[in-house]
Chains A and B, each alone.
Chain A
Amino acid sequence: MSEPGITEREWQQLYYRLERPLYNLAYRYVLQQQEAQDTVHDAFLQLWARRGRIRADTANRYLWVSVLNLSRKRRRWRRTKAFLSGAEVLLELPAPDSPESNAAAAQEHRQLHLAIDRLPEKLRGVLLLTEFAEMPHQSIAELLSIPSGTVASRRHLALKRLHAELKTD
Chain B
Amino acid sequence: MSKKKHKINKTYKQINDKIKSGDVVVVTAEEIIDIVRENGPEEAAKHVDIVTTGTFAPMCSSGAVINFGHTQPAIKASKVWLNNVSAYAGMAAVDCYIGATEPCEDDPLNKVWPGEFKYGGGHVIEDLLAGEKVHIKASAYGTSCYPNKYVEDEIELSKLPQATLCNPRNGYQNYNCAVNMTKKTIYTYMGILKPNAVNANYCSAGQLSPLFNDPYYKTIGLGTRIFLGGGQGHVTWHGTQHKPGVARTEKGIPLSPSGTLWVMGDMKQMKPEWLRGISLLGYGCSLAVGLGIPIPILNEEMAMYTAVSDEDLFTQIIDYGVDYPNGKSKSLGQVSYADLKSGTIKLNDREIQTVPLSSYVKAKEIAEILKGWIKKGNFLLGEPQFTLPSE
**A, B bound:** no
